[in-house]
Amino acid sequence: MTVENRRARSPRGSGDDLRDALVTATAKLLETHDLNALSVRTVTSATGVSPTALYLHFTDLPELLRAVKARFFGDLRDQLTAVGGTGRDRVKALALAYLAYAREYEGRYAVMFHAHRRTDAPSTPAAELVELGWAAFEPLIAAVGAVLPDASVDEIRETSLELWLALHGRAQLSVAMPWFELPDEGRYVDRLVRQVLG
Amino acid sequence: MTVENRRARSPRGSGDDLRDALVTATAKLLETHDLNALSVRTVTSATGVSPTALYLHFTDLPELLRAVKARFFGDLRDQLTAVGGTGRDRVKALALAYLAYAREYEGRYAVMFHAHRRTDAPSTPAAELVELGWAAFEPLIAAVGAVLPDASVDEIRETSLELWLALHGRAQLSVAMPWFELPDEGRYVDRLVRQVLG
DNA sequence: ACCTGAACACCGTTCAAGT
DNA sequence: ACCTGAACACCGTTCAAGT
């Protein structure tokens, strides 16, 4: 992974500028590079600082990646809240927007649902991520609630989750196994919404 | 990642013994360790050979991981073909067996559907993996076909895929975000099968 | 035929130091 | 207050050599 030579960054005014710059640079690199092509050195080099500068704002590389994940979940939520429509059409539009996000930003989606951890760490839930995940999920819950006015909160949540898990299954598979041919997104969403919403 | 000191392996009789030993050792390490805790050195050390011995049987580390993935898909297929039952009960039993595999072997599932690649490599489909993926999928297709005797091959495939994508969505999410609380597996499968199979 | 050892350019992270 | 440089124990991979 060769990174263009940038001029060394002048000492900065203050605050979280470098932190933001590192997150932005990492997000950009993920558009064109694999997750494990990311290193402290490529990220800092792309930002124009020394490798050790990363540790001024993050405890380690995984924490930087968590911050990047958080940004991606925020972006996804923004895309979904911008979706229009009402009733069942709105549910379908949200489903299509979700699949579109995964398709357009494959690298992001791979990182957002990347299965790391495993025994070593105490599986730190990273409260911020939990919250952002739920926040991104909310528009779908609201849209499903509008379609099922007589359903309880639990029923709405369960139904929304079924929709989301089917969307995630398709999105994640297409990222993990791009060679696996899947039916048209529109058709998939039509059938899914009919099956789950009745 | 500390690995117990093993005696150096004596020169072997012949053939693919070392290859198998490396795949087995890697599979075992994945039961307790994260994917990126795997290295050429931990794998070969666990096998009792020098780091460079890996290159006698694999072009590089990713190819070893592909071989491990292939073994896991074979295992999954074995588990699914061992499932009994007929009709709709068989479909449900297969779904539960699928989720059970992902739950019991989280590390395996994470590797099987790990989204690597991305621009650098030409996204080598790895024909062997494609075939093994389909082979693991076949039992479900057959079970769905038995439930829908009047359906066309395409309809059966599409319906089976919908079932599988919903199962994969749940399985992969539980591996990627274990802190996300999901409804009971039995209830999920009951509702899913009713929704998709009508 | 099968495996090892030394060597290469990397890697994440720490810590003392610079401005 | 903010950032760098040298150093540490690692990493994947190559290649010449050992038995």
- Cβ A102 vs Cβ A109: under 8 Å: yes
At A115 the pLDDT is 85
Confidence of residue A51 (pLDDT cuts 50, 70, 90): very high
Determine the structural domain holding residue B138 and report its residue range. Answer: 63-197
Evaluate whether residue A153 is within a structural domain.
yes
Say yes or no: A67 and A15 in one domain. no
Residue whose structure tokens are 């995630």:
A168
Evaluate whether residue B73 is within a structural domain.
yes
Say yes or no: A145 and A96 in one domain. yes
Rounded Cα distance, B12 and B18, in Å: 8
- The one-digit pLDDT tens for each residue of chain B (198 residues) are 433 444 345 555 556 789 999 999 999 999 999 888 899 999 999 999 999 999 999 999 999 999 999 999 999 999 999 999 999 999 999 999 999 999 999 999 999 999 875 443 444 557 788 899 999 999 999 999 999 999 999 999 999 999 999 999 999 999 999 888 999 999 999 999 999 998
Preferred mutation among B105, B162, B167, B188 to probe A, highest tally of A CBs within 10 A: B162
CB contact under 8 A, A33 and B183: no
Say yes or no: A50 and A148 in one domain. no
CB contact under 8 A, A115 and B117: no
Evaluate whether residue A1 is within a structural domain.
no
Say yes or no: B17 and B41 in one domain. yes
CB contact under 8 A, A130 and B182: no
SS3 A53: helix
Say yes or no: B51 and B73 in one domain. no
- Between CA B118 and C1' D13 the distance (Å) reads 21
Is the pTM here over 0.85, yes or no? Answer: yes
Evaluate whether residue A84 is within a structural domain.
yes
Rounded Cα distance, A79 and A110, in Å: 17
Evaluate whether residue B179 is within a structural domain.
yes
Residue whose structure tokens are 């994470």:
B110
Last residue within a domain, chosen from B58, B77, B98: B58
Residue whose structure tokens are 């911050």:
A67
CATH code of the domain in which B39 resides = 1.10.10.60
Say yes or no: B86 and B135 in one domain. yes
Evaluate whether residue A2 is within a structural domain.
no
Say yes or no: A28 and A41 in one domain. yes
**Which tokens go with B192?**
């899913």
Rounded Cα distance, A108 and A76, in Å: 10
At B118 the pLDDT is 47
Q: Which residue has the higher pLDDT, A21 or A128?
A: A21
Residue pLDDT, tens place only, A115-141: 875 443 444 557 788 899 999 999 999
Number of independent structural domains in chain A: 2
DSSP assignment, residue A142? H
Say yes or no: A170 and A80 in one domain. yes
Residue pLDDT, tens place only, A85-106: 999 999 999 999 999 999 999 9
**Which tokens go with A169?**
């299954």
Q: How far is CA A136 from CA A76, A131, B121, B170, B182, in A?
A: 6, 9, 32, 17, 17
> How high does pLDDT run on average in chain A?
89
CB contact under 8 A, A34 and B120: yes
Evaluate whether residue B1 is within a structural domain.
no
At A140 the pLDDT is 98
Rounded Cα distance, B123 and B119, in Å: 7
Nucleotides of D under 7 A from a protein CB: 1-7, 10-16
Rounded Cα distance, B101 and B113, in Å: 13
CATH code of the domain in which A110 resides = 1.10.357.10
Evaluate whether residue B48 is within a structural domain.
yes
Interface of B with A in 13-72 (CB under 8 A): 32-37
Rounded Cα distance, A40 and A55, in Å: 10
At B158 the pLDDT is 98
- Cβ A23 vs Cβ A64: under 8 Å: yes
Please name which of B60, B70, B68, B78 lies closest in space to residue B24, comparing C-alpha atoms.
B68
Say yes or no: B18 and B85 in one domain. no
CB contact under 8 A, B166 and A161: no
For the cut 60, the answer to whether the pLDDT of residue A41 exceeds it is yes
Show which residues sit with Cβ under 7 A of nucleic chain C: A 1, 38-42, 51-52, 54-55, 60-62; B 8-9, 11-12, 14-15, 17-18, 49-53, 56
Say yes or no: B117 and B172 in one domain. yes
Confidence of residue A11 (pLDDT cuts 50, 70, 90): low
Say yes or no: B78 and B175 in one domain. yes
Q: What is the mean pLDDT of residues A169-188?
A: 95
Say yes or no: B97 and B54 in one domain. no
Q: Phi-psi bin for A182: left (phi > 0), alpha (psi -120 to 50), beta?
A: beta
Residue pLDDT, tens place only, A139-159: 999 999 999 999 999 999 999
For the cut 60, the answer to whether the pLDDT of residue A45 exceeds it is yes
Interface residue A122 vs chain B (CB under 8 A): no
Q: How far is CA B195 from CA A126, B9, B11, B159, B163, in A?
A: 34, 55, 58, 11, 9
At A129 the pLDDT is 85
Rounded Cα distance, B41 and B138, in Å: 37
